[in-house]
Amino acid sequence: MHKSPIVVLDQVSKSIDNKIIVQPLSLQVSAGNIVALCGGNGAGKSTLLRMIAGIIQPTTGKLTVNGLEHRKKRKEYAECIGYMPDDFHFHQPLSALELLAFYAQLKGVNNERVLQLLEQVGLTEVRHKPASAYSKGMRQRLLFAQALLAKPPLLILDEPTNGLDPYWMDAFIDLLLELKKAGHTVVFSTHQLHIAEKVADQVVFMADGHVLRSAGLRELMQEYPSRGLNGAFSELLSQSIPAKE
């Protein structure tokens, strides 16, 4: 069954200080799918995610979420999205419980949901501990819970598995698959291609602000049965080098 797109990018690009960070690209994300943006540092993944989340505006092109443009319908646009940044250092002496309760109040979410999410991400026992004292992995789990608070139809997650130990890496995979089953759409960035292999419906390979290839996971795995996504990315990257010279 064909799924309608929830995210549509039409020749979207981003330049900062006259430097092109994301080259013009067109991309669609079908509702209910999990999409993995894969590539190394400097590929443009985080910039692309921030544009979709409405945090920064494209330099050129048109971008819609649920048919909405951020410039025209900011509140409605924002309500469609749960955003998790790559990292965030909590400088205030607030606990995880206080922080989530604060964001819950902003989003009109009750405290029962806060407690449920703290349990889901394994932070119940340390909920009164200052978030500023959390390890990288614990901060990631707190940021993930914050993105899930209002049960948004679209989740934008920037390198969500960074700092997670093997147990929470597996738990994160299970959570993503549960979110998909519940009808959520997820777009996340990662350089850990084995994670993308386990959860993604669609894979977008990026390098130097370009999209090298966007394809279904099944299609890519059929093309590279022995080497998987690592092999696919290595080959696509090697093919792109002469074009850049």
Q: Indicate the helix (H) or strand (E) that contains 65.
A: strand 60-65
CATH of the domain at 209: 3.40.50.300
Show Cβ contacts of residue 102 under 8 Å, excluding neighbours closer than 6 positions. Answer: 94
Q: What is the total count of domains within the chain?
A: 1
Token pair 């048919």 is found at 67
Taking the C-alpha atoms of 13, 15, 19 and 24 in order, what is their torsion angle to the nearest 10 degrees? 10
Confidence (pLDDT) at 169: 94
Confidence (pLDDT) at 241: 60
Confidence (pLDDT) at 3: 72
Q: Which residues pair with 60 in a beta bridge?
A: 13
- Residues 133-142: pLDDT tens digits? 999 999 999 9
Confidence (pLDDT) at 227: 87
Q: How far is CA 184 from CA 32, 102, 127, 190, in A?
A: 5, 24, 26, 19
Asked if 14 contacts 21 with a C-beta cutoff of 8 angstroms, the reply is: yes
Q: Order of strands across the sheet with 185-190?
A: 81-84, 154-158, 185-190, 34-38, 202-207, 210-216
Q: Indicate the helix (H) or strand (E) that contains 26.
A: strand 19-30
Backbone phi, psi, residue 56, to 5°: -125, 155
Q: What share of the chain is helix, strand, coil (3-state, %, to 5)?
A: 40, 25, 30
Quote the domain boundaries for residue 148.
5-244
Confidence (pLDDT) at 243: 46
Tokens of 204: 């977008």
Strand (E) positions, 81-194?
81-84, 154-158, 185-190
Taking the C-alpha atoms of residue 149 and residue 115, their distance in angstroms, rounded to an integer, is 10
- Residues 20-31: pLDDT tens digits? 999 999 999 999
Show Cβ contacts of residue 112 under 8 Å, excluding neighbours closer than 6 positions. Answer: none
Residue 122 burial by Cβ neighbours in a 10 Å radius (0-12, 13-18, 19+): middle
Confidence (pLDDT) at 239: 85
How confident is the chain (245 residues) per 10-residue block, as mean pLDDT?
Answer: 84 94 96 96 94 96 94 92 87 89 93 96 96 92 96 97 94 95 97 94 96 95 90 89 48
